[in-house]
């Protein structure tokens, strides 16, 4: 049953990277799979795929086999990293926030201490690893 659901919703990352990447079902089932083998790892979005919308990268489960960043998950907006984390629910929360507020006046990046603020909606998001 699970296998059917996964293959219906997320065949692409398996084709491009192989099952060893073990993308969590909560990501595979909810998001648009835009994985491409020329990237370091599978990637997902909640908007129509282009290379600038909020994107969630899912790194290899084995830290020794990771490329590009050390954690399991990375969220980027317009190509800038806004979050790296090992917590899947945090990664999903962040890509949802940045998708919901895409095009708004949003500040925040990893360099800003893992805090994102939408000044249009007056909403703030803080990561667990925020200082
Ligand atoms: Zn907003």
Q: How far apart are alpha carbons 16 and 121 in whole angstroms? A: 38
Q: Hey, is 1 helix, strand or coil?
A: coil
Least confident of 35-44, 49-58, 85-94, 112-121: 49-58
Give the pLDDT confidence of 85-126 residue by residue, as tens digits: 999 999 999 999 999 999 999 987 776 678 999 999 999 999
- Distance in Å, CA 77 to ligand 1 centroid: 14
Residue 131 lies in a domain: no
- Distance in Å, CA 115 to ligand 1 centroid: 14
Question: What range defines the domain where residue 80 resides?
Answer: 2-126
Counting the structural domains of the chain, the total is 1
- Distance in Å, CA 83 to ligand 1 centroid: 18
Residue 27 lies in a domain: yes
- Distance in Å, CA 99 to ligand 1 centroid: 9
Residue 54 lies in a domain: yes
Neighbours of ion ligand 1 (CB under 5 A): 101, 104, 118, 120-121
| Pairing state between β 32-33 and 55-58 | unpaired
| 1 has pLDDT over 60 | no
């Amino acid at each position: 049953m699970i296998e059917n659901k996964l293959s219906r919703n997320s065949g692409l990352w398996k084709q491009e990277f192989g099952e060893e990447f073990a993308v969590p079902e909560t990501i595979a089932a909810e998001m648009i799979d835009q994985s491409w083998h020329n990237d370091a790892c599978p990637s997902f979005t909640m908007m129509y795929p282009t290379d600038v919308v909020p994107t969630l990268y899912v790194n290899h489960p084995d830290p020794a086999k990771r490329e590009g960043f050390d954690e399991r998950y990375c969220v980027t907006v317009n190509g800038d990293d806004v979050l790296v984390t090992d917590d899947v629910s945090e990664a999903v929360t962040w890509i949802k926030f940045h998708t919901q507020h895409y095009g708004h006046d949003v500040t925040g990046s990893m360099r800003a201490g893992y805090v994102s603020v939408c000044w249009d909606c007056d909403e703030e998001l803080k990561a667990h690893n925020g200082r």
